[in-house]
Structure 1
Amino acid sequence: MRQLVRFLKYFLGILFVPLVLYFAIVLIGVAIPVNSNPETINPDIKIYLISNGVHVDIAVPVKTDIIDWTEVVHPQHTLLPTTNSSYVSFGWGDLLFYQNTPEWKDLTFKTAFQALFLKTPSAIHARFHDGIPKNENIKPLMIDSLQYRRLSEYISNTFIYDKGGKSQPVKGLHYGGQDAFYKAKGSLNLFNTCNTWVNKALKHSGLKASLWTPFEEGIFFRYP
């Protein structure tokens, strides 16, 4: 019996210590600001951070003088193509997770484990918006053309393109009528989550961000 108790303590310690260390690193990463006072000149482009409570997307204008996103993510790749959308949102994540978990109730231990601990392909989820959704946690940001150019470069460089320079849609994968998924670079893990991707986008653009965060709280902490 004593041996069993010792084993259980040892086993729980193995699980508990890494968890404590992980969240300690999270707190440190979130506590350290990056671009705390960004130099924004003539902020005339509005973007949005959109959260579903766990995952953050970045919504940007479909067309500006800087980039026309329909040349990267085509409305024809959606189930209900439209040319009237004013914004398109981008989120990055694990491809198998996207395929197996259209809703949180569909999440299984196997899917979560594969996404966090195995090197699996990733995807970008692009969704066209006629207007910004009102029922989600949304933060508008006004940025300038240089910041938006950097943001656009970051998002564009996440796509995997074919030899002809075209983005590659994931066939048969949709969550609605005006969205599509695309093959993307990188692999999701405990230290490189969907929200880490958004935080990196903000850092790359010269906007306020945390040094590192795997959670949406680390993003919105900079944008209360």
Structure 2
Amino acid sequence: MVETLKRGAWFSTAVVAALLMLLALYGMAGMIGGAIPANRDWRAPDRGVSVWVESNGVHVGIVVPKRAGGVDWRGFASPRDLGDPRFAGYDHLAIGWGERDFFLGTPTWADVRLPTVLAAGYGSDATLLHVEHVPRPREGGDVRRVVLTPAEYRRLAAAIMASRGAGPARRGYAANDVFYPARGHYSAVTTCNAWVGWVLRFAGVRVGAWTPFPETVLWWF
């Protein structure tokens, strides 16, 4: 009996050590991937279309003007989808992509539960776009402004719009936000922050080659 307990304790310790090592390797790989530049020759133009990347500490999203650079987002996010259509009067959209159950089940970070995190990290084809109608952001702290040429902005918009899936909208956390079905597979590799890095790379912006963490996006700006 004692030997059985010892073997069980040893096995549990080995599993915990392996998980901690895996997490450490994942963190190291993410930091390295975020430090390797894609589009290394890109420079922000003196004048152009301003977008913002903003972080809540865990999740990064992109804020775009509703009408700029030849792009009109009004058909993408209808006022009819909002709890209160008056919020459609705001002139910007804050857009993020992520796993459906994680989005719907965690309206605040106090609601985050380990099984939800593990399930999302394992992988899911059920993804959503979270779209908020917001005023023009104020730059500072975890809100960074990025200036794009009109052509770069159109590529950014094309990448975001291509992430939209088919199906009805879901009401969001408040009266000014909404969820839309999305395309793409969410996993520990293709995280919400990696998606932001992808759309920025697609636009031609210099950013990390792989950006799984908020810091790996923000430090470029």
TM-score, length basis structure 1 = 0.87
Partner residue of 1:45 out of 38, 44, 49: 49
Aligned partner of 1:59 in structure 2 is 63
Q: Give, in whole Å, the separation in 2 of the partners of 1:21 and 1:194.
A: 19
* Aligned residue type for 1:180: V
RMSD: 2.1
Q: What residue in structure 2 maps to residue 36 of structure 1?
A: 40
Distance in 2 separating the partners of 1:185 and 1:32: 26
More helix by share: 2
Residue 101 of structure 1: aligned partner: 106
Distance 2:155 2:164 in 1: 15
Identity of aligned residues (%): 27
Whole-angstrom distance in 2 between the partners of 1:85 and 1:95: 26
Against the structure 1 CA distance between its residues 109 and 41, is the aligned structure 2 distance closer, same or farther, given a 3 Å change threshold? closer
- 8 Å contact from structure 1 (residues 199, 210) kept in 2: yes
Structure 1 residues 144-200: Cα deviation after superposition (integer angstroms, max 9, x where no partner): 111101101100000013xxxxxx3433x3111111100000121110110000011
The 1-side partners of 2:149 and 2:140 are apart by 27
Residues 179 and 14 of structure 1: is their aligned pair in 2 closer, same or farther, counting only changes over 3 Å? same
Aligned partners of 1:65, 1:99: CA distance in 2, in Å? 32
Structure 2 gaps, min length 5: none
> 1:71/1:17 Cα in 2 relative to 1: closer, same or farther (>3 Å)?
same
AA at the equivalent of 1:170:
A
3-state DSSP of counterpart to 2:146: strand
Hey, what's the Cα distance between the residues in 2 that align with 1:133 and 1:123? 26
Cα-to-partner distance string for 1:118-159 (whole Å, 9 max, x where unaligned): 424000001111332679721111111111011011000000
Greater CA drift, 10-19 or 118-127: 10-19
Matched residue, 1:17:
21
CA contact under 8 A between 1:51 and 1:136: conserved in structure 2?
Answer: no
- The count of residues paired between Structure 1 and Structure 2 equals 216
Q: SS at the partner of 1:71?
A: coil
Q: Structure 1: which 5+ residue stretches go unaligned?
A: 162-167
